[in-house]
Structure 1
C-alpha cells in the first residue's frame, strides 16, 4: 500500500480517462451504462448527450432501442434522482440505496399523518403493476384510502418505498411521452433480490468509474452515509493517495492514472452530468472561480470542458434560425467563462459540430459564441 500525493490536475486526468472523456470508447450502450454505473436522467435528452460525448459511433437510436427492449430503464437511485441503469443495476443499486430513500420520508412526515406506510407500499404496488400509472393517477388512487393526507407526500412515499421505473415511451429519442410508473421487477420481468447487496462491489465499481476518490466522494455520489468501514474492509486490495489538502484517496491498483499533462480534448456535457456531481471535492474538473456558474435558480445548464476543466456553457436551439433563411436550421451556442486561444476555439467548434450531428439537429447547424444564460 502506498500513499502518494496527487494534484487536482492529475486527479482530473484520471477521472476523465475512466469517464471515457479523454478518448471516445468503441463500447455499446449497455456496457457504457454499466461502466459508468448509471447516467443522470432527470430529463429525456441528457443520457443521449452523455453517451454522445463518450462513445464512438453512438446513435440515439441505440439507446432508444435498449430502453424499448428493457435492457436499460429509468428510476430513482443515487441522490434521490432519476438515473438510467442497466436492468441488472436496476435490481441491485436501488436496494443498496433504499435506506436513504426511506430516510427521505422524514421530510414528508407532516403530510403522512395516519398513513400506514406498509399498506401504502402494498397498494401502490398493486396499482402500478395492474397498469403503469402517472404520478397524478397514483396520487388520486392513494387519496381514496387516505383522503386527509397531502397528495404530493403520498406519491413521494410510493416513490421512496418502491423501485418505480419510468416505462417507455418516456425517455425515447424524439418519441418520449409522459411519466408512467410501474415497479422495476414487473417491468423487467425479474424477481426482487432477497436482500440488499453489500456495498463492497459498488465501491469498487465507483472507483473504476470515478476514482481516485475519498470516502466522502463516494458518499456524495451514492447519497449514502457511514461507508468508511467498507473502505477499511477493502483497504488491503486498494492503493491510496493524498490530495493537495491531505485527504486520503482510494483507488484500484490497476486503474488508469494518466500523466497530468496528457491532452484532454474539448467535450460537451449534459445537464447534471455525473462527472460534475460525483465528488465532494470537485476541483479536479471545476475551478473554484467557476463554482455556481453552471446554475441559474433551479436550472442547470449544459457545460463544456476545455483542457479537462469546465470552461463554459452550451445550448442547442433546434430550428432557431430566422424565417426566410435558406434553410430552417439549428444553432448551437457556446458561452465560454473566459477567453480561449484560437486553437481551443477551433477544437471546441469542431466538437460542437460533432455533437449536433450525433443529436440529429435539424437543418443546417450554426455554431457560434454567445450567451446561454438569460
Structure 2
C-alpha cells in the first residue's frame, strides 16, 4: 500500500512543532475549528477533528471508531521499525485494544478500585507525600515547580499505591518516558528503540514482580489487591490484563499529574486576583483545576481513533482504517458549548468537559489525577503565602504534550 491514504480532501497545513505553538496553540486551533473543522493532515496521515460536537460523536461511537492502533491503515507500514515489542504485546491486553464485550468486562472489574470514594481513601498518603516533598524545598528562595515538585509527586504516589519499595521510582519514570514516546504512531525514531526497550523491559518486570508478590501477600485497602481479588460472576482479571492496567496507571498517572500541577500553578500565579480568591475560598481550587483542563489543556496533539468502517462525518467520508485525531484542546474552546470560551472562569459549569475523554473510554484515573493536583496546589499555597511567579514558563520538545520544562517561582520573597 502506498503511504498516501486513499481519500483525504480537504487537506490542511498543520505544524505542531512550529515556533510558538506549544506556548499558545489556540489561535491555530481556532482557525482550524472555524475554517476547516474536519480536515486531512497529510504529514500526520490522519484527520484533524477540532469541534466539540464531532469530538463527542467519535468518542462515544465505540462501534465504528476504535482506539486500537492495530486498526490503522498504516499500522504495518509506518513506524514498524520503531516499535518496542514488549509494549506492543502489553497493549494487546489493554483497555484500548479489547473488543466491546471484553472491554466492558475488564472495565467493570477495574472500576471499583478507582472510584472517587476509593481514591479519596488515599488522601492521607498523598498529603504525606506532598508535605515531605515541600519540606525538602522549604528553605530555598526560588524553585522550579516542574522539577522540584510536580515531577517528583507522581512516582511517589504510584509507588505508594502499589507498595513499591522506595528507590524504584526512577525506574517508573524511565518506563513512563519510554512508553509515552510510543504513544502516537510514527513518532518513535528507530535509533531510540534499543535504549528505550531496556527501560520498558525493566519496568514491565518490576510491575510483574509486584503483581505476583501481592497475589501471595494481599493487603487491606490496597488498590492492587482489589484489582487482583475482584470477581464478577466468577471472572477475574488475567495476569496480562493486570499487567497492562497497572502499566497504564503508571504511564497515565505520571503524564497527567505532572503537567496539570504545573499548568494549574502557572494559571493561578499569573492571575493575582484569582489567587487571592482561592486563598480566601480554598474550595474554588476544584473549579480552577477543571478550568485549567479546559482553558489551557496541556495536550499538544489529539486522541487517536481508527475507523472500523467508512463513516460520514461533518460532510466528509472517513474511510475504514483511517486515523482521526480528536483535538481536545480545540474542542474544549468551542464557543457553541462553552460561552466566552476564551475567558478563564473558575465558576464555569464544566460538566460538558471532555478533558478526560468521553464514553466507554473515559479515563479511569481521572479521580486520582484530580485529587493529586488539588492536594499539591492547595498545600503549596498554604505553605508559602507569598508565593509568586519569577518569569514565564519555558517549554521543551515532546511528541504529544505541551511539555512545561521550567516554571520558576519564589517561595519566600524577602
- Taking structure 2 as the reference length, the TM-score comes to 0.23
- Taking structure 1 as the reference length, the TM-score comes to 0.25
- Structure with more strand by fraction: 1
Higher relative contact order (CA 8 A, sep 6+): 2
- Structure with more helix by fraction: 2
